Structure 1
Amino acid sequence: MRRPRALRHDRRPQVRTIGIAALGAALLAVTACSSPSTASSGGVTGGNCTESKTPVKISVIADLSGASPTLVVHGKAVVAAATTAAHLANTSGGVNCAPVQLVVHDGAASAAGVTQAVRDSINGKSVAVTGFAISGFLAGSVPLITQAKIPWMSTSPTFQGVADIPYFYSTQVANKTLGTDAAEALKRELGGSLAGKKIAFEGTTNSATVDEILASLTAAVQAEGGTVGPVFRDPSVFTEWSSQAANAVSAGVDAVASMSSDSTNIVMNGALKTAGFDGKFLSIVSATDATFAKIANPDFISMRNAAFPLPGTPLGAAVQESGASLDDANASSYFGQEFAAATALVDTLRKCGDDCTADKFASTVSAYGDYTVPLDGLYGPMKFDPRVATMPVTIFRWDAAVSKPAAVGSAL
């Protein structure tokens, strides 16, 4: 099974075209963004297909280079998820017997890179777009997305501007929902009540997403008689958190809620332990199994809304069969959200038909109701309401007896 070659380090954000072969091989061509070449699709199997059709081109926008190591980890997981979804599609008839062809655009972890990726997706005549870009990088592309009328179904967050685009869908749980879910998770962990409880919060500075989650969490905690504070806003990557941990302990907080990444949660846990913190530590962002193992703290919990493709699971086997990297897939929770997005995108294109317009795409999604992601990719059905997916959230805690995280209680 031939695996994708590494991207060249050209100056401009790059694009690569992936054709998913019937047996799961990933064929890769790399060029500059302005002139992408087309790799062989490899055809389709299944679906009683008897004729060859023109490939259905889907753009995948993901950060595969740039100044943010965290975003690059997410970007690689997103590409692995889209590759897996395309492989599953092409081994079950493609899009009405047309093979799915992925064109991967590197957002380069920058606003300029994401804008270029959006332009290239439009100019490259992709029929739809998936992937992930943070709101701050995607905001400048709202006019382009609106004018192009290309369906989007991705794990990019919704925010003012894209939230009003009728063919822009996201499998990233709404910020308000994350805040209220976090409050409910903390309520469960703190004995069933938040009355009189103090919750510290940590999140990235200058982030509209974090602002909205913090506001939602604060409102939910206050409604239950608790308080949120102190609030710590930090860079996206840091290696020292001792002063913040000392302040949290001095304030007498009962729990710390974090919107940070896996690597910084590890730093926070160490600092809190050194400071003598004995409360609950909640990661609102889904922590990976590797992070749980490094922290190994029974008071550390994480909210998960999507499964990881662990070795030995059907989802993990599908990743390997597609030629994607299992390590990349398990390094970020964005794999699960993107797998849900890319799978639903392909299914919508199938139902929408050969003459699928953005408006017809939107009406097709609105008729779904509950949507079940294959291979237990989520912890239950998701539903677009109206364009942001809602889905069950499960709390996980480290289980020392089996040396892995385990689900706690029923889904939120």
Structure 2
Amino acid sequence: MKKIINYSKNIFLLPIVAILMWTSCKVDVIDDPNNPGAGTISENASLSEIQNLVDGMESGMRDNLNSYFDGVGVIGREFYRYSTSDPRFTSDLLGKGNATLDSNTFYTTNPFASRYRVVKNTNILIKALQNTKATISEAERKAGIAYALTIQAYQLLMVFNQQYGNGIRVDVSDPERLGPFLSQDESLKAIQDSLNKADLDLNDNAARFPFTTSLYSNVADDFSKLNRAFAARVAIYRKDWAQANSALSESFFDINGDLTTGSYHLFSTAGGDQLNPQYFPQNSSGETRVVQPSFITDAQPGDTRVASKTSKRTATAFQDGLQSDYDFWVYQSNVAPIPLIRNEELILIYAEVKAQLGDVTNAKTAINVIRKAAGLPDYAGPTDLNSLIDEILDQRRYSLFGEGHRWIDMRRYDKLDQLPKDRPDDNVWTQFPRPANE
């Protein structure tokens, strides 16, 4: 059964505090009691204000997802993003000719700023839960703070995925005294440590959050499974196979379970809500996403994932020396949910971990679960580590198509040179530049 909760999100904005001024005297700033600012929420939040903050955070997590997925998806040669109004999708992101990634344009600054905006709100939520005078138990308080730390870690991981060797700031709790940029390894370790710290207050905690979340579960111990799923992802990025194995065992990983079970961003047509930004109608022109042709030509015969994630166009789409006969069709409506992480990825993480630990039998078992679901026969290739990893990367390519993994996967195995270059003078980037204002 899918772990998707139909919970409509309301956009939360921290309102501007009203200031009264006269020429003859100085008047203190007065918080509007009907529209409390960030300071009021941090100092003495009501449960309804805390709920508003959580709603705003989860809405903010969806901001600029299109910039993020277009960035990693185009560089990872999963799809082309055609735009008649902005040629940078097919020039900068693909490294056309002398084009480079710009440190001060939308594909760099927008996802970076949006993720850190959510991180800022998680820090406000932590302070609000620490200082609220509302009646909540200590177990509920700890659970709520652990939820905030989990979401914070996930957002920081998205920043890291694009910044990579640049490293990221992890300590941003004091906007006046931001922590330093950590190294690549330090950044991932800090994210892992934050997830582990949060899980100490989630695992075996039967308390419900003092708010409602749409991301997985409202019970701390159950939400721990999502935390551990994120931890497993981070652990394989760190090549910490033992940690990944342990995290998987405590997550919602189920080798025989529904591949779609997981945590999702939800969308709706309700007033004030957001639509799925990765959706374009079939056969769109002007603004559209079309499949990088090698995804079609490299597929094994009978792989049902190709038909379920792409759509044959009525006419070939051309732009900037590129062409494709297939639409990107992973999201087939403007309210289709976008996964944060799901069981299909966890099964593939399990296969990778077992292969790295020398457990060929269980690695092949997991690979065959994915292959069977895709209508393919069991894996019959070589069972040395390199061959198994190549097979797992191939299955990840098709199972997680368009979900933001291909570029990262090929980078962490030093295989970026195997990604197809769409034109002879194109480049495959390793990372985005650090935003100019940083």
- TM-score higher than 0.5: no
Structure possessing the higher relative contact order (Cα contacts under 8 Å, 6 or more residues apart) = 2
Bigger Cα Rg: 2
In proportion to residue count, which structure has more strand?
1
